[in-house]
Amino acid sequence: MTSQTRSHGVTLLGPLHETLARATGWKALFFAALLGAFAGLAYAPFHLTLALAVSLIGLVWMVDGARGQQRWGRAVFARGWAFGFGHFLVSMHWTAAPFLVEPEKHAIFLWMPLILLPGGMALIWGAAMSMAGAFWSASPSRIFIFTLFFAMAEWVRGSLFGGFPWNLAGTSWMPGGAISQAASLGGVYWLTVLTLFACAAGAALVDTRDTRGLAGRFMPLLVAIFGLAGLWAWGAQRLTELPSETDVDIVLMDVGVPQAEKYINGRPNPAVLRRYLEFLRDIPARPSDVVIWPEGATGGYLLGAQQIEPVAEYLDDRTLIAGTVRYASGTQGEAWYNSLAVLTQESARTGAAGLYDKHRLVPMGELPLSRVLPFGEQISGILPGALQRMATSGFDPGVGPSLVYGDTVPPFVAMICYEALYPNIVTDAQITAGQRAEWIVVVSNDGWFGALIGPAQHYAQNRYRAIEAGLPLARVAARGTSAVVDGMGREVLRTKGLRQDIEGWRGQVGRTRLPAPLAKPLFQSRAGQALFPVTLVLLSVFGFLAWKR
């Protein structure tokens, strides 16, 4: 096949296929990047999965043309990389927001989120397209091959150097909707495989063969249509179940302080703690209340006497779950953790009733470069001053996933910010504890994400953890979305802003009963965990059977 071969298939699509397939040089890279950028509409807050379908069909057609060039490996890689760069740049442009909190210090590093991050992740997609190109053909088999290598690339992206599984294709479906319920069967990676295949299937309608095999061209699309219809019908039936309630009252609190005002001259702003204490004073208390504050709520050491004593005084009979930094010293020296603590009125005297230390740390934000890359210490040593500090400072990782217990709260899985992107944490925590959790608690600081699409994307992806585990989830995010969802990802409560608050702050409070856990879903079993690799094997088998050189 060459890029100059005439397209055959559905007549109306033929000219579009030829336009994309025949593009070369910078024009091809521009088209690929444009398609990747358009795919960003598939994720929150838009959830236009159709945009992902249009983009992936265009990418398949561009690989058709690249595969016919003399140096096809380079051409296929370049198109895959450009598609990824456009996609990650547009859909994750909010990653530049943390560098603008103190622009006089960090704006010089904007090239990292706007060039290094999208360009680096796009390398994975480019490599995946190159490997797919080695097995490419004009037949519908290329849909199976494309899906296989793209899905493996997404698993690598979520695992390599700690991983960054943000905006997986499976999360393009509205969480809590019918299709999203498939995550309870095989997890979000399995749903990603199904989504990639369904979105790319339409590309098989056009290829460069002669007019024979028209039925074969429709086969992938028919499989996708009937497959999605089946998943939708099953998911819609599942959603008819109404969740029951427990006797635990959840109170979500966020004072909404802008990230730039959280610290004054490098020290915690005392107004933040005062505002949280006002919330505790003004919100009517019930003995069954479990109050939740976000990640790093007060900006300081909540477990220290200066903060824990006034907090304990205002708690009464309530329990508080809050994010805080935590200091510890031992035989290995000093250690600082990004932690979550369970506090009661007695905690000023006895200490925290429960603790969890974040173990999945953000590379270059919380996790030093020396722990991310091979020879990281040597690389950090040659960096210039400010960049070296960014590469070497951070937190110490916790021991791993675990259940958190408190005298007055049901056992829960704790996840702090970035950790809530990982499907395995809830499963591993329950395996480690030898028992099932009753709910999930996510605390986050979305103030770093700015007011763009980042907070909405983060919240949507967190809701998939509830679907995969069949557990209710309570989430409090500083200057983000704070909500309670049930075990199907359906929103039970979203906090409302206060009418009177400090100027520029966006304080929010909400109260609801904690939903009860659902029956343990398939994904929490070995069979459910196996669906993703088994489906990849089936794709390779079907691709081989349909393959025609």
Residue position matching structure tokens 């990603």: 192
Phi, psi of 398 (to 5 degrees): -75, 180
- CA-wise closest residue to 367 among 515, 161, 537, 184: 161
Q: Alpha-carbon distance 433 to 431, whole Å?
A: 5
What's the sign of the alpha-carbon dihedral 510, 515, 517, 522? negative
Q: Alpha-carbon distance 464 to 184, whole Å?
A: 9
Peptide bond into 401 cis (omega under 30): no
Chain centroid to Cα 424, Å, comes to: 13
Within 10 A of 145 (CB to CB), how many other CB atoms are there?
A: 26
Residues of the chain with CATH 3.60.110.10: 245-360+401-517
- Segment holding 333, helix H or strand E: strand 333-343
Q: Alpha-carbon distance 216 to 138, whole Å?
A: 12
Q: Alpha-carbon distance 494 to 511, whole Å?
A: 9
pLDDT at 329: 80
- CA-wise closest residue to 9 among 147, 139, 137: 139
**Which CATH number is correct for 245-360+401-517, 3.40.1350.10, 3.60.110.10, 2.40.30.60, 3.40.50.720?**
3.60.110.10
pLDDT at 382: 41
Q: Decide: 114 and 89 in contact? Cβ < 8 Å.
A: yes
Classified as helix, coil or strand, 478 is: strand
What residue type is 76 in one-letter code? V
Classified as helix, coil or strand, 489 is: coil
Phi, psi of 492 (to 5 degrees): -95, -40
Report the Cα–Cα distance between both ends of the chain, in Å, rounded: 9
Classified as helix, coil or strand, 35 is: helix
For the record, the structure tokens of 57 come out as 């069909």
The pTM score is 0.93
- pLDDT means per 10 residues in the chain (549 residues)? 56 85 96 98 97 98 94 97 98 90 81 93 98 92 97 96 92 98 98 98 83 77 97 98 93 95 92 96 91 96 94 94 90 84 94 95 71 47 43 77 92 96 96 96 92 93 98 97 98 90 90 97 97 97 79
